[in-house]
């Protein structure tokens, strides 16, 4: 068994779990995956065995516990994979800033466009509350690609923590059929096509659990 254990929630519904999972997969870091089903009578009790916040994900490295997705990504980058941040100072500063922005911001996207990898809406999911946040991300992705994207298909060329942080939005934009500018759309399609992303989506597709999320 791997020394590292990543405790996650349902793959269909847990955007915060996807972020460190994808970063670690892309970095080639070996870890054991432990899934705790969300929205059950014992969920809180089960999560409490590992996470001091009662939330997922949490990384277990021997006696060390790391919670919060961005903190987990930072931890594994520092200890195992420094290449998860860009080498260039300007690019790295931008990558850190937009990763923190994702961690702390975009509350309406979380409320009105919950992650549902299996879902597909026949009409675009745009509502007024989310439009400013989508516009910000649309422009951000284009700016990163145009300024720092040489050498690959990701925001900063090669895969970084920033891509992991925004991967759940790639899934959400597909679910709710959000139209993006051509540069941002090409980026979203590149993330979607990553073998590790496809592995996550395939696992989400066969999960039997259904959790109701009201968008209003």
pLDDT digits 0-9 by tens, 167-190: 999 999 999 999 999 999 999 999
Query: Which of residues 206 and 128 earns the better pLDDT score?
Result: 206
pLDDT in tens, 28-52: 999 999 999 998 899 999 999 999 9
Candidates 172, 53, 80, 85; CA nearest to 121 is 172
Q: What is the pLDDT of residue 127?
A: 80
Set out the domains of the chain in order of their start, with CATH numbers.
4-82 (3.40.30.10), 83-200 (1.20.1050.10)
Of the candidates 66, 81, 59, 67, which has an alpha carbon nearest to the alpha carbon of residue 159? 81
DSSP secondary structure code for residue 106 in this structure: -
Report the pLDDT value the prediction gives residue 109, as an integer from 0 to 100. Answer: 93
pLDDT number for residue 196: 98
pTM comes to 0.94
């Amino acid at each position: 068994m791997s020394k590292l254990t990543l405790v996650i929630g349902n793959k269909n519904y847990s955007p915060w779990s996807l972020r460190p999972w994808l970063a670690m997969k892309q970095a080639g870091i070996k870890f054991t995956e432990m899934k705790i089903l969300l929205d059950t009578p014992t969920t809180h009790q089960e999560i409490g065995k590992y996470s001091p916040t009662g939330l997922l994900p949490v990384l277990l490295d021997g006696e060390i516990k790391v919670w919060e997705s961005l903190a987990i990504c930072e931890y594994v980058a520092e200890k195992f994979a420094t290449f998860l941040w860009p080498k260039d100072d300007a690019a790295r500063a931008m990558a850190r800033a937009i990763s923190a922005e994702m961690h702390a911001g975009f509350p309406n996207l979380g409320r009105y466009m919950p992650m549902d990898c299996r879902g597909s809406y026949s009409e675009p999911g745009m509502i007024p509350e989310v439009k400013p946040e989508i516009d910000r991300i649309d422009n951000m992705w284009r700016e990163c690609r145009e300024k720092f994207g040489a050498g690959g298909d990701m925001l900063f060329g090669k895969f970084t923590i920033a891509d992991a942080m925004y991967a759940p939005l790639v899934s959400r934009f597909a679910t709710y059929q959000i139209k993006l500018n051509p540069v941002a759309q090409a980026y979203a399609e590149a993330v979607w096509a990553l073998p590790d992303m496809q592995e996550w989506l395939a696992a989400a597709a066969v999960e039997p659990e259904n959790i109701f999320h009201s968008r209003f």
